[in-house]
Amino acid sequence: QVQLVESGGGLVQAGGSLRLSCAASGSIYSINAMGWYRQAPGKQRELVAAIRGDSITNYADSVKGRFTISKDNAKNTVYLQMNSLKPEDTAVYYCNANIRVRISSGGMDYWGKGTLVTVSS
């Protein structure tokens, strides 16, 4: 019913920048929130940044001042601008969205398949 498709990952040198995109499609009545999580090898998945329907944002302390989350409501798309990247930012980045598929339903969480970000030192 709902698909999240990420793009924009890749290999970048430390200090560089990348921009991730995630587009939601399918049966969408409204989007309550969208966000990005990441999972590094051997570590648990963690929240990187999130943005609510009212555009309130939330960031992990480790990325504050370096990453910026934004969204385009018309395109059901969320972006993550990542600047001053560090080797410790290397991870698979997953898009998450809390979506209502009809007016009578509550929000449900959906996940993308992930996109790999590798930061070389």
Q: For residue 17, what pLDDT is reported?
A: 98
Taking the alpha carbons at both ends of the chain, their separation in whole angstroms is 40
Q: Rounded distance, CA 118 to CA 74, Å?
A: 30
Q: For residue 105, what pLDDT is reported?
A: 84
Give one DSSP letter per residue of 5-27, joined into a string.
EEE--EEEETT--EEEEEEEEES
Residue range 5-46, pLDDT digits in tens: 999 999 999 999 999 999 999 999 999 999 999 999 999 999
Query: What is the percent of the chain with per-residue pLDDT over 70, rounded to a whole number?
Result: 100
Question: 100-104: which pairs have CB atoms within 8 A and are 24 or more residues apart?
Answer: 100/28, 100/29, 100/30, 100/31, 100/32, 101/1, 101/2, 101/26, 101/27, 101/28, 101/29, 102/27, 102/29, 103/29
Residue range 51-106, pLDDT digits in tens: 999 999 999 999 999 999 999 999 999 999 999 999 999 999 999 999 999 988 88
